[in-house]
Structure 1
Amino acid sequence: MDVDKISFTGSTEVGRLVMEAAAKSNLKHVSLELGGKSPVIIFDDADVDMAVSIAHIANFFNKGEFCVSGSRIYVHENIYDEFLKKSVEMAKSTVIGDPFDPRVQQGPQTDKKQFEKILRYIECGKNEGATLVTGGKTYGSKGYYIEPTIFTDVQENMKIAQDEIFGPVMALMKFKTIEEAIEKANATRYGLAAGIITKDLNIANRVSRSVRAGTIWINCYFVFDPSCPFGGFKMSGFGKDQGMEALDKYLQVKSVITPIFSSPWL
């Protein structure tokens, strides 16, 4: 009861419990930075090699164990086949092993529980009808290593397209129009981040205004600055970290009124 404010970073499931506990105590203020299922939208004017590299970093950085992981990759149908081919090649060339080895690009998952959870999602993707084109298996005879995994033929209602897996699993999908891309990108309960890859500034502006996410990266991904506010929409939480806006969640506005002259009503 003596705590007036909680700032929590973690899963959406635990964020719900934090809000519930806050409501049942003293209605303390809460700010939440929660999960995500971030889209990366790649238009047909993009440099495919650059797009593949950005999408790979967005999805597989830190073995996919980061909140803004760009695990839903939407590629325009005109460059889809080329993008898929090069993405598979890059995934297969990833060096997996001891993260203290400077040659290694992907280390083990954080623990056995997370390791097994990711493998269950991979099996779920196959069972729901998505096509596993690379990865999907454990790596090595010891440790919690999982190969970089890419699924195609993913539908929006599949768990691998809706749930935060927190692992090296890419759901690759195609689109035809800007409107379709925006609709698909917003078809999630999360809204933490998104990526847009295009040479057309008008497309970048239109899509960045339309996608409901707290951080939008254009022709880059996972770039931060202390002055740039960070925080999610929808079930990715509320409240901002970094920037001047980060101070708002720790402040309360108070109004104090006093007369500066004699009033006949006092």
Structure 2
Amino acid sequence: MKIGDAKIEAGAVCFALQYRPGMADQGVSLQVVGEVDGEAKELLRFDCFDHEPHYHYDPNGKNIKYKMDKTTAGNPINWSIKTLKHRLPDMLECSGYGDIASRIDCDLVNEKLEQVKETARYMAVSQRRTVTHNRGEVVIEAGNLKFGLEFRELRNDRGLAIHVLSDVAGQEIELLAFDCFEVGPHYHYGPRNQDIRLYWDTVAIPDTLEWTLEQFTSGKLPAMLDRAGYPGVVAGLDEELIAEKLESEIVPKAYAMRAANVKN
């Protein structure tokens, strides 16, 4: 992987940082870099992602990978910094770079890691990828949820979009978004928060609007909202009312809007 542009020198090693805004996950990557055969090489990497944080020994060689357990480790950035402060020479040995490990100045490393931590924290906030959509042309209320429907015409794509909204801390927030597009259909968990974006395989799921509405009508909304990070909204759902609104208004309106925008 390319070495990050934000670099903090620490004697025998350099700490490089970059923000990686992936579709299904995102976060700060912290690389431990050293000189090997006259070239800068990635020796260790800590991927402090939102959902599946993990770290690598010798990422471009034997690439031994371990997942971080967020339940026990807590914040991935803090865990990575703490681990580097106490275990860096041993981890470099495990990666196969004992010569670099023997030249580590632990006092200097610990001093520089404070700067690394502040830089990583700043990146995690300032470079986070989120998405803000319109709320929809038609908004149908169902208890503490609102379903916003619109037909979106983009430069390179088009299709029906469904926004699942609710009021959180006095502000209307988009909790889920389903972009049932013709070319690149996808959906979002927590577009204003985590923005986990997943693309449909249209060979396996040729009608993405039908699939979306099936998730709603089959009772998957609570689990999806929980994954998006809104358990408080889930606790207040009126599932009977949602089912009624889906049958009488949301499903018919969604199909009607799509039909009205079919290109001949």
Structure whose residues are more often strand by fraction: 2
Question: Which structure ranks higher in relative contact order (CA pairs < 8 Å, sequence separation ≥ 6)?
Answer: 1
Flag the structure with larger Rg.
2
Please indicate, yes or no, whether the TM-score normalized by the shorter chain is above 0.5: no
Bin the TM-score by the shorter chain: under 0.3
Give the TM-score normalised by the residue count of structure 1. Answer: 0.21
